[in-house]
């Protein structure tokens, strides 16, 4: 029986699998993250992905891992850590990878691992490829969880931006952007600009919000002047217009929003029949804002 041939499970593969199991245990048990072995990775350099979990919330951030196991990876050292060598083809692959890549060196005999992020600023060129130092201080355990989470990138809550983004959904046909008097008087355009920039953040949103935005100013109900006559309102809207001139495309034609913008941004005189726009000012306004409208049409 001993002489008959069978499939092999070589020592090198057994050692590698020990390392993967050790890394999985640390990420699963100590970090509480999701570990996914890349069994079909065709030996291109990525052995696993880990996905970050906050309590019970999976937040969509991942890190790619190359896991190296065995005594040979701990023989070369410098004053800061273990020296890991790799081939140039793998460095190109890691630096182009869509996730941050971390190299992990495993010592199953000690039940211990060390890690380093593959960073072009930390890599050194050598005669047969590249090398990077894996710091002695970067032991893979719960104490480095925050560092690895930082490497994965900031987690954003896009829900308010996509579904609310400080717009009052008072009507089904358009979105009501409310500007408070405090913002007008302080010259703060940031809040309004964040909302307005969101409606042009993608082709889908540009199409969705065409002629669908309504502007209103709160806090001047007891002021006998029209909004376009109030100097601080004119100053505020001019500053906003420098950043967001797309009124012809986005503003609803079913509300007074466009009239408000036109009379506030243009020069005018008051006659018996009401406000009369200055022709030169109106021509400049039309030229600028038709260009902006055409830009949105092209984007969409």
Query: Does residue 5 lie in a domain region?
Result: no
How far is 285 from 275, CA to CA, in rounded Å? 16
Cα four-point dihedral sign 219, 223, 227, 231: negative
Q: Is residue 93 assigned to a domain?
A: yes
CA separation, residue 70 to residues 38, 47, 55, 219, 262 (Å): 20, 15, 33, 70, 72
Q: Are strands 268-271 and 213-218 parallel, antiparallel or unpaired?
A: unpaired
Strand residues in 94-232 grouped as ranges (E): 101-107, 112-117, 124-126, 129-135, 175-180, 213-218
Q: Are residues 192 and 77 in the same domain?
A: no
Tell which of 108, 127, 152 closes a domain.
152
Do residues 75 and 197 both lie within one domain? Answer: no
> Do residue 143 and residue 171 come from a single domain?
no
The span from the CA of 39 to the CA of 27, in Å, is 17
Same domain, 109 and 36: yes
Confidence of residue 41 (pLDDT cuts 50, 70, 90): low
- Domain-embedded: residue 3: no
CA dihedral of 38, 40, 44, 46, whole degrees rounded to 10: 0
Domain finish residue from 120, 152, 184: 152
Phi, psi of 53, deg, nearest 5:
-130, 130
Identify whether residues 114 and 166 lie together within a single domain: no
Query: pLDDT tens digits, residue range 161-206?
Result: 544 444 434 344 567 888 899 999 999 999 888 888 888 888 888 8
CA distances, 94 to each of 33, 86, 113, 125, 167 (Å)? 22, 11, 20, 15, 42
Residue 69 parent element (H or E): strand 57-69
Domain-embedded: residue 66: yes
**Would the pLDDT of 50 be above 60?**
yes
Collapsed DSSP state (helix, strand, coil) of residue 199: coil
Asked whether residue 141 is domain-assigned, the answer is yes
Q: What is the per-residue pLDDT for 165?
A: 42
Do residue 208 and residue 269 come from a single domain? Answer: yes
Does residue 180 fall inside a structural domain?
A: yes
Number of domains the chain contains: 2
Check which CATH number belongs to the domain holding 107 and give it.
3.40.1350
Question: Do 72 and 180 fall into the same domain?
Answer: no
Q: Does 132 fall in a domain?
A: yes
The DSSP output letter for 81 is E
Report whether pLDDT(112) > 60. yes
Q: What percent of the chain has pLDDT over 90?
A: 58
What's the whole-model pTM score? 0.57
Structural domain boundaries enclosing 124: 11-152
Answer yes or no: is 54 within a domain: yes
Closest CA to 101 of 116, 83, 89: 116
Residues 107 and 188 reside in one and the same domain: no
């Amino acid at each position: 029986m001993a002489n008959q041939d069978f499939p092999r499970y070589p020592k090198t593969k057994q050692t590698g699998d020990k390392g993967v199991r050790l890394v999985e245990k640390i990420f699963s048990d100590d970090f509480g993250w999701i570990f996914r072995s890349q069994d079909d990775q065709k030996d291109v350099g990525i052995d696993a992905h880990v996905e970050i979990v906050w309590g019970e919330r999976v937040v969509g951030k991942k890190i790619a891992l190359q896991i190296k196991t065995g005594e040979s990876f701990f023989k070369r050292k410098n004053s800061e850590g273990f020296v890991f060598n790799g081939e140039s083809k793998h460095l190109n692959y890691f630096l182009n990878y869509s996730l941050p890549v971390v190299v992990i060196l495993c010592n199953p005999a000690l039940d211990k691992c060390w890690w380093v992020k593959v960073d072009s600023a930390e890599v050194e060129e050598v005669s047969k490829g590249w090398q990077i130092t894996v710091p002695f201080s970067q032991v893979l355990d719960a104490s480095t969880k925050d560092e690895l989470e930082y490497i994965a990138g900031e987690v954003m809550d896009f829900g308010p931006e996509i579904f609310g983004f400080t717009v009052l959904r008072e009507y089904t046909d358009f979105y009501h952007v409310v500007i408070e008097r405090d913002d007008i008087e302080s010259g703060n355009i940031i809040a309004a600009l964040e909302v307005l920039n969101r409606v042009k953040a993608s082709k889908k949103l540009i199409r969705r919000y065409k002629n669908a935005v309504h502007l209103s100013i709160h806090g001047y109900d007891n002021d006998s002047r029209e909004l376009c006559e109030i100097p601080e309102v004119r100053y505020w809207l001019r500053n906003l217009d420098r950043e967001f001139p797309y009124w012809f495309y986005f503003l609803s034609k079913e509300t007074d929003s466009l009239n408000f913008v036109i009379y506030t941004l243009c020069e005018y005189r008051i006659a018996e029949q009401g406000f009369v726009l200055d022709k030169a000012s109106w021509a400049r306004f039309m030229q600028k804002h038709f260009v902006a409208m055409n830009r949105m049409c092209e984007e969409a």
